[in-house]
Structure 1
Amino acid sequence: MYSSLFGKNFGISYYVIIMYFLAAIESDFLGNLPYEVELLPREEYRSNFCYSVEECRAAYPQIMDIANRLYKYLQSRKIVSITRGIPQYDTDEDTAIFKMWVAHQAAIDVAKPKFSDVSFYSSETERDFTMDFLVTAEIFEAVLYRPYFESSAELLVGFPHRLLTDQDRNVLTSNFSRREKALITVTKLTTKINKSTGMIMIYTIHEA
């Protein structure tokens, strides 16, 4: 989702993805695996990440617990019917999506300050876009945005096809599509409104 490979953007994405994955293993959501799963680290970046259930559990127990709650809930569902051989479960969609977004935000909250010291890998404009999008994602969480494949794919069409440079700060060049320009503009505007209202927009949505 984010484009700077070893800077702030990649680090935040890593934590969101890896916590979901390792929590799925720890909770036995993926079944009783006959082997341990450990990612192979690049040694020069090893201290910035965790690479196994044991490592992440020791370093970030709260995030692992939150992600585990999502999978435990999904495992607690009961089959209510079977349609063409496919079981239908008694899942409360709002509950599942709420637990998913809470886990997503918890990983972001840990990763953002962790990677503030490596933000020089991308331009200021790229870094600003990343943070603008994270504010937008927090609003998605608050309104329980349904991250279905179709809706997510439609949103991701607007992601910039390349790293933003400081030359893109005021005027986006013509090689950006209308969807890309729209997403960049909307996320920037969302952050401005949120700041100008003293973060009240997000707080209000959360309390609604």
Structure 2
Amino acid sequence: MAVLASWVWVLAGCFCAAVAEVSDSSDPYPPLWEDSPEQLSDYMMEDGNYIINPWVYTDRMGMYRILLEETAMYFAKYGPENEQNLLWGLPLQFGWQYQSGRLADPTGMTDCGNELNESLCVSVDSWWADINYYLSVIPFLAAVDSGITGISPNQITILPPPKDQMRFCYNVSDCQSAVPGTMNRWRDFFQYMQLNSSDFDGLLNYLWEAHASSLDYPTSAFGDRYNFYSEKEANFEENWAIAVNYLAAARLPTTQNRTYSFQRGLPPRVLVDTDIAPFIPDFTPLQNEVLVSLKLLGDTDRNSGSLSLTLWENLMSTKLARTLFLKAFEEFLATSS
């Protein structure tokens, strides 16, 4: 428990240091946000259907942009300019993956994501891209099915990747069969959002339940993708997936500025075998420290058989505990500014 506590406070420091670094940022948006579809009519249409290719960066980012637009009214009471929308964590995370080269073909067998004319290509061989598919297409289809977009799910056509087509689902009925728990949790989130009685804490709870559920299937199904990366990057991928469960238990608010700020602590490129944190020379001290913290958490989780997660979930089971944890972020920020 002492090891777990040390990770929590280190991560709190990393988070708040990152916030302090970019608090004056005037452009907290993912790359190519303005070049991505803002409404469904921006996608190509065929036989009355909107055609979305999630293996093109801007097409997948467009699904997020539409979700942010369509749900803005439900978050207006929590703050101006849609900044408090909890869905911001998804496109910002996807944008970091793109910017850091993690959506490109890790095998080097194709130019996907690696050449200028293929810069928008999202590789099906990318572990990050495959995991993100279940955090982009699934929420989008669940939102459509929940009536958020005002169109029928039958009007959406999701295109498959060039290979491994059977490892993904492409419409509401198929995804409901493939990952029913995940579809249900995202649908619950969007349905709760539309209730007059919904509140911010409730939205956080539903969001993190859906987010964590989205990782259940792909993290087990795409374990073979680790073979395409260096040992350091593969270990980081495993640790990142583990960390999400701890963040979910704490229900960290994934608002725009918080998420954008936090990502300043994430590695800006794919890790190679010679990278040894906290001594990676082209990474900032913060980025080095975050890698060390994530490794500590991952090792603790694996060595304890996830008992550490159970203890953390019990600790974070009350609103008071979560409030105190979030307050620690704010106090650290106040002393760092």
TM-score by structure 1 length? 0.85
**Does 2:124 match 1:124?**
no
Given that 1:67 and 1:100 are in contact with CA atoms closer than 8 Å, whether structure 2 keeps it comes out as yes
Equivalence for 1:111: 218
Q: CA, structure 1 residues 204+44, in 2 after alignment: closer, same or farther (shift >3 Å)?
A: same
**Structure 1 residues 1-208: aligned runs within 5 Å:** 1=93, 2=97, 3-5=102-104, 6-33=125-152, 36-76=155-195, 78=196, 90-169=197-276, 172-207=279-314, 208=317
Given that 1:22 and 1:53 are in contact with CA atoms closer than 8 Å, whether structure 2 keeps it comes out as yes
Given that 2:242 and 2:298 are in contact with CA atoms closer than 8 Å, whether structure 1 keeps it comes out as yes
Equivalence for 2:38: none
Q: Deviations over 1:147-182 (max 9, x none)?
A: 111111111112211110111146643111222212
Instruction: Give the distance between the partners of 1:196 and 1:95, measured in 2 at CA.
Output: 33
CA drift at 1:48: 2.1
Given that 1:7 and 1:119 are in contact with CA atoms closer than 8 Å, whether structure 2 keeps it comes out as no
Equivalence for 1:83: none
What code does the residue aligned with 2:221 have? K
CA drift at 1:34: 8.8
Fraction of identical pairs, as percent:
23
Instruction: Give the distance between the partners of 1:149 and 1:170, measured in 2 at CA.
Output: 28
CA drift at 1:146: 0.9
- 2:163 aligned counterpart, secondary structure: helix
Q: Deviations over 1:61-113 (max 9, x none)?
A: 2211111000110112x2xxxxxxxxxxx432111111111111111011111
Q: CA, structure 1 residues 113+171, in 2 after alignment: closer, same or farther (shift >3 Å)?
A: same
Please tell me the root mean square deviation across aligned C-alpha atoms, in Å.
2.0
Given that 1:160 and 1:180 are in contact with CA atoms closer than 8 Å, whether structure 2 keeps it comes out as yes
Equivalence for 1:82: none
Given that 2:265 and 2:287 are in contact with CA atoms closer than 8 Å, whether structure 1 keeps it comes out as yes
Given that 1:4 and 1:163 are in contact with CA atoms closer than 8 Å, whether structure 2 keeps it comes out as no
- 1:38 aligned counterpart, secondary structure: strand
CA drift at 1:43: 2.6
Gapped regions of structure 2 (runs ≥ 5):
1-92, 105-124, 318-337
Given that 1:24 and 1:71 are in contact with CA atoms closer than 8 Å, whether structure 2 keeps it comes out as yes
Given that 2:157 and 2:170 are in contact with CA atoms closer than 8 Å, whether structure 1 keeps it comes out as yes
Q: CA, structure 1 residues 196+67, in 2 after alignment: closer, same or farther (shift >3 Å)?
A: same
Given that 1:66 and 1:103 are in contact with CA atoms closer than 8 Å, whether structure 2 keeps it comes out as yes
What code does the residue aligned with 2:290 have? L
CA drift at 1:35: 6.2
CA drift at 1:205: 2.3
Given that 1:7 and 1:120 are in contact with CA atoms closer than 8 Å, whether structure 2 keeps it comes out as no
Q: Deviations over 1:113-163 (max 9, x none)?
A: 100122222212111101111222111100111111111111111221111
Gapped regions of structure 1 (runs ≥ 5):
79-89
Given that 1:139 and 1:202 are in contact with CA atoms closer than 8 Å, whether structure 2 keeps it comes out as yes
Alignment length (residue pairs): 196
Q: CA, structure 1 residues 33+198, in 2 after alignment: closer, same or farther (shift >3 Å)?
A: closer
